[in-house]
Structure 1
Amino acid sequence: MLKFAKAFTRDERGVSAMEYAILAGIIVVALTASMTTFKTAFTGLWTTITSDVTKAGK
């Protein structure tokens, strides 16, 4: 059992894949947070554009 534990802690296969997965997760969290932050600004912008286009069409 001790040999297995030592071999398991020394095994570095798949470490790069885990690092890339963690990095991808961080990027997804950052993008989600930024989209949530800018949601109000984008909503206001599209509301203004829609209103202006509607007024121009009348």
Structure 2
Amino acid sequence: MNLKAAVKRFVADESGLSAVEYGLLAAGIVLGITTFISGIGTNLGTIFSNLASDVSSAAKG
């Protein structure tokens, strides 16, 4: 077998392609979930901070 035929066969081989696609899809989903949860965490921090402040002022007054 010569080098040209081996390169042709390698380029035409698509057996590992679906695994790469699934890996990229999974990475995209993880990135989206991480971004979403990060945003929720920031908002929850603000909500609980405001709640603590309100409870503190209500206890004093």
Which portions of structure 1, spanning 4 or more consecutive aligned residues, are displaced by more than 4 angstroms? none
Identity of aligned residues (%): 29
Q: How many residues were matched structurally?
A: 52
Alignment-mate amino acid for residue 6 of structure 1: K
The answer to whether 1:25 aligns with 2:14 is no
Cα drift, residue 46 of structure 1: 4.0
SS at match of 1:12: coil
| CA–CA distance in structure 2, aligned partners of residues 42 and 5 of structure 1 | 55
| CA–CA distance in structure 1, aligned partners of residues 10 and 41 of structure 2 | 46
Alignment-mate amino acid for residue 5 of structure 2: K
Alignment-mate amino acid for residue 35 of structure 1: I
Report the equivalent of 2:43.
41
Structure 1 gap segments, 5+ residues each: none
Structure 2 gap segments, 5+ residues each: none
The answer to whether 1:14 aligns with 2:13 is no
Please give the root-mean-square deviation of Cα atoms over the aligned residues, in Å.
2.2
TM-score (norm 2): 0.63
SS at match of 1:23: helix
Q: Which range moved further: 33-42 or 21-30?
A: 33-42
